[in-house]
A and B are shown apart, each in its own frame.
Chain A
């Protein structure tokens, strides 16, 4: 602190007079700091005198006094640029190589062991040119410099000329290199095309051109959509529309391989777009991050010439089929659950529509979905791949109406078929049904006015009174409680309430098993005197179970929101 203060004082002095005068003891170092610009000549002049006790004055001492001078670049780890020992009166010169703060230090030293004494120091630092380079009064100097300057100007002009020449050469090299680059890309693409085009049924170059001119809409960027989109993008389809309102979650990734850990939280459409553009930068992708409804389906579909239904519910499947019928667009419809999958081409070459095959919707309680029942990733992926194959066949006119017309088939894939069974089957299916609505009844008004949700039916989970629904913390108020977990056994084994809670009475009877138990086994497993708390993943099946047991005369409560709600405030191994 004091040192710094010193510096400040010294610096201010310097700026005033550039000369210092101070006292110092032998072997004591005094330093001060000076900011110097780059390539500055600094000349330090100094005179050091020693105190003579006899004369009671400061006198010259040329016998055993030496002055140590150091200059350090404080901005560069105190790199020492000057270190010399001088006689008491003298000067030093140095040129600063870099601009920054320099530290000047002076230390008077005795060359023998004589007694230490006091010194008076005069120090003068001259920064800049010590003397003018040119004396304007001397003609020889001026003419010499003029000569030199002219020479330099000539050299400079030569350099400029050479530089512009190099610039021109560089530009021509760049043009050549860009040309080579684009040729490489073109030939690579052509190579790919040739590879595909040499499959005779693909229809050669015309087949590839047909793909390029195609516009395909893929509805659902989940398990089916993932592999279908990847292959369609890679095959050279010109425009692909992606429709999905969902965002990528970590639990999707085992089967929805177009997404990855870096796109979690992103719209599935955006995530799919990134991966497809990496595969094929020439691809045009239309992103529809919205829910498909009977009010927007016509507007979206009309821009495409092939639709892929990769959705997971009958409501959307009927809507997609109806819209395709109205706009006369072929549809590839597929589904996959657990280890199995199905694929059918609809509304193609006067073939059947979804309603022809399924005139009456399956009841919602008879339907299981991927997120409830699980699915083996590659099984659903294979069905998505089959969709991309059928897409390419349709788009390249493989099913030419004159040469090779399409006959309705349904592909059935059973991933875990018994050893002696067929894994992939091809079923010959019915054609367009004369009684079906698709013959004339499906109009814009029909689609916009039909309540598809009501048509397909919906399970009503709102079947319990409030007094039969509780939060987890209220369980402690219930006497003799027995917690009934109605999830499938596999899910119960992954994690359950007893993983982190203590002393809970817990029993696992899956909902589908519960409703199949006879009276006797039910009473054995669930004694009537116990208070039952019904639990499941999201709190839907638990309500159905609670209602079922209430009607059997049990005292039952439903855990509101299921384990999903519980896990938001308690430690739980979430697997969904």
Chain B
């Protein structure tokens, strides 16, 4: 079991029913391997998103929608292992929409 903190920034909280910060408990039992970010994304998509239209705002073409940046402990996931990053207790995962206003 892994407990991680998740935050939604840049207006992405609207897709998750207005939640900005939350804690996720991911159960290892069903999975044989370590828990990765990919598992977290699946968990968020199936547990926190209720509407199909909102799902499109989070996931497109089987991955995180273009325009959303993912950060693990305040570091771009491109510097880590992206979806394959293995989560540890207390990790903070941030999802932020790219803004375009000026």
Contact = CB atoms under 8 A, between A and B. Distances in A.
Q: Does A associate with B in a complex?
A: yes
A518 to B, nearest CB: 9
B59 to A, nearest CB: 12
Given A363-B66, A414-B9, A429-B76, A368 B102 contact: no
Interface of B: 7, 9-11, 20-21, 51, 53-54, 57, 60, 65-67, 69, 71, 74-76, 78-79, 94, 96-102
Given A428-B76, A428-B79, A342 B10 contact: yes
Contacts of A410: 69, 76
B74 A310 contact: no
Contact of B11 (A340, A380, A426): A340
Contact of B57 (A317, A357, A366, A421): A366
A363 B76 CA distance: 21
Nearest to B74: A427
A149 to B, nearest CB: 82
A359 B66 CA distance: 8
A367 B71 CA distance: 20
Interface stretch (A220-228, A393-401, A478-486, A561-569): A220-228
Nearest to A337: B101
Contacts of A430: 76, 78-79
Nearest to A336: B101
Interface of A: 220, 222-225, 310-314, 317, 334-338, 340-342, 357-363, 366-370, 373, 375, 380, 410, 412, 414, 417-418, 420-421, 425-430, 433, 512, 515-516
Contacts of B60: 363
A235 B74 CA distance: 32
Contacts of B75: 427-428
A340 B21 contact: no
Given A428-B74, A428-B79, A412 B102 contact: no
B51 A335 contact: no
Contact of B102 (A220, A338, A362): A220
Contacts of B79: 428-430
A410 B79 CA distance: 14
Given A414-B9, A418-B21, A335 B74 contact: no
A308 to B, nearest CB: 10
A337 B74 contact: no
A368 B76 contact: no
A421 B96 CA distance: 14
A292 to B, nearest CB: 13
Nearest to B51: A516
A340 B102 contact: no
A380 B69 CA distance: 20
A334 B71 CA distance: 18
A366 B65 contact: yes
A375 B99 CA distance: 12
Contacts of A310: 102
A224 B21 CA distance: 27
Contacts of A357: 69
A337 B102 CA distance: 7
B10 A222 contact: no
A362 B67 CA distance: 5
B53 A516 contact: yes
A312 B76 CA distance: 23
Contact of A421 (B7, B74, B97, B101): B7
Nearest to A359: B66
20 contacts: A222-B102, A223-B101, A311-B102, A312-B101, A334-B102, A335-B102, A336-B102, A342-B10, A342-B98, A361-B67, A363-B67, A375-B101, A380-B101, A380-B102, A410-B76, A412-B96, A417-B20, A428-B79, A429-B78, A433-B78
A358 to B, nearest CB: 6
A358 B67 contact: yes
Given A338-B11, A340-B11, A412-B10, A420 B102 contact: no
Nearest to B57: A366
Contacts of A358: 66-67, 98
B71 A337 contact: no
Given A335-B98, A342-B98, A427-B75, A421 B67 contact: no
Nearest to B12: A340
Given A338-B101, A412-B10, A421-B20, 4 more contacts: A417-B20, A418-B21, A425-B9, A429-B78
Given A427-B71, A428-B79, A516 B102 contact: no
A361 B102 contact: no
B99 to A, nearest CB: 4
B98 A362 contact: yes
Contacts of B76: 410, 427-430
B101 A373 contact: yes
Nearest to B50: A516
Give the one of B9, B11, B21 with max A CB within 10 A.
Answer: B9
Contacts of B20: 414, 417-418, 421
A510 to B, nearest CB: 12
A520 to B, nearest CB: 14
Contacts of B97: 366
Given A362-B66, A421-B21, A515-B53, A312 B11 contact: no
A520 B18 CA distance: 24
A426 B74 contact: yes
A312 B54 CA distance: 23
A180 B71 CA distance: 58
Nearest to B54: A516
Contacts of A426: 74
